[in-house]
Amino acid sequence: MKNNSRYTRRSFLRTLSYSAGTLALMPAFKSLAACSLPGKDKRLGIALVGLGGYSGGQLAPALQETKNCYLAGIVTGTPSKADSWSKKYNIPDKNIYNYDNFDSIANNPDIDIVYVVLPISMHKEFTIRAAQAGKHVICEKPMALNAGECAEMIAACKKANRMLSIGYRLHFEPHNIEMMRLGQKEIYGKVTSIDTGNGFTYRGDPNAWRLKKALAGGGGLMDMGVYSIQGSRYSLGKEPLFVKATEEKTNHELFREVDETVFWELEFPGGILAKGKSSYNNNWGYLKVKAEKGTFGLEPAFGYGGIRGNSPAGEMNFPQINQQAFQMDDFARCILQKKPTRVPGEEGMRDMKVIDAIYRSIASGKRERIV
C-alpha cells in the first residue's frame, strides 16, 4: 500500500490538537512528537543493509524526512545498485559496502546504526556482525528464522553493549496506538475476543526469496501473519499461552516450499481467544476486538497508510503518518538519550515463539504450548 497522505510533523501535531478524541492519547503522542526533535549531540547515520523493495520504496524516502537520523551508507552485493543509490542520495564511496567487506564498517564514524533489510535467513548473521562492529541495529521483521536465533541476536547485542530494535513501525502509528490504549486500559470493559487477518494475493516472481523456505523460513505466516500476531498481543497487552493452527494450500506449485494460508487460535490468560489468519493468496488486513461494552477495530489495519478505525465513540480521527520515519527517529532518539526502545529484540522474539508454536501445531495437528 502507498502512504497516500504526506503529513509533516507540524501538521500531524496540529491535527491532533484539533481532535478531542486524541486527548486520552496525548502522552503517547507526546512521545511520538519528541522523536522529531533533533538530538542534543548530532543526527545519527543509518546504513541500510540490503537494497530491495522495502529499502528503496519506504526506508530511503522516509530517511529524507527524519530529524534525528539520516541515510549515511548502504550495503549491497549489486554494484549497479551501489552506483545508482550513490548518485540518488549523494552517498560517498567510503560509506558504500558489500557483504564481504561489511565488517570494516566498524571503522566508519559516519555510521551509527545498521538497518538489516535482508532475507530472513541473513538477519541473525548481519545483526550479530553489526553489533560486533560497534553499531546499533534495527532488524526488519520477522526477526529471525526462529526464536532460538532471536536469543542469539539479543545476546550478541547485549555483549557488545549495542541497542537492538525490530522494525515494528505500527507501534508508532496513531490508530494502532489507540488499539493498544482501548484494549490494555479496558476502556470498553474487558476484552472478550479478537479476530484478525493479514495477507495479500502474491503475483510476484515465482523464484523470489520469499518463496524459498531456506531464505524466508516460511510463507504468509512469517511475512504477513506477524502483524496479526502483534495486533492480538498489543491489543491485550498480554502474552498467549497456547495455539491451535491449520494450513490451507490451493496453489501447490507456487507455494511448494512455504505456507500459503494459515489459520490459528491463540489462547490468552483469562480464557480470551484470538482468531488469526495469514495468507499469500487472500487480501486481508483487519484487526477487530470485542469487549464487554463494545467492539473496536481497524480496517485497513496494517498498511503503510490509509489506516482506518472505529470504536463505540465513532471513527478514529487520527492522521496518516510516515510510519518508518517516526520509527527510525524514535530509535535514534532512544540512542541519543540512552532510553530503551519500545520495540526491542525481546519483542521480536515473543512473536517468533508464537510462530514456532503455530508451525509445531500445523505439524502435530494438536494444541501447542507457546514456550
Q: Is 97 exposed, middle or buried (0-12, 13-18, 19+ CB in 10 A)?
A: buried
* Nearest-angstrom CA–CA distance, 364 and 56: 40
Is residue 275 within 8 Å of residue 289, measured between CB atoms? no
* Nearest-angstrom CA–CA distance, 146 and 240: 17
Is residue 3 within 8 Å of residue 322, measured between CB atoms? yes
Catalytic residue among 168, 188, 202, 227: 227
Catalytic residue among 124, 135, 141, 244: 141
> At residue 51, what are phi and psi to the nearest 5 degrees?
-110, 50
Is residue 136 within 8 Å of residue 115, measured between CB atoms? no
Residue with cell 521483521: 141
At position 230, the amino acid (one-letter code) is: Q
Residue 167 CB contacts under 8 Å (≥ 6 apart), including other chains: 115, 138, 139, 140, 141, 327, 343
What cell numbers appear for 249 in the block?
494450500
Confirm whether 141 is a catalytic residue: yes
Residue 15 CB contacts under 8 Å (≥ 6 apart), including other chains: 7, 318, 319
* Nearest-angstrom CA–CA distance, 35 and 29: 10
By C-alpha distance, which of 169, 167, 230 is closest to 198?
230
* Nearest-angstrom CA–CA distance, 174 and 65: 18
By C-alpha distance, which of 222, 169, 241, 166 is closest to 352?
222
Confirm whether 81 is a catalytic residue: no
* Nearest-angstrom CA–CA distance, 125 and 103: 11
* Nearest-angstrom CA–CA distance, 71 and 61: 9
* Nearest-angstrom CA–CA distance, 257 and 216: 10
- Which residues belong to the active site? 141, 227
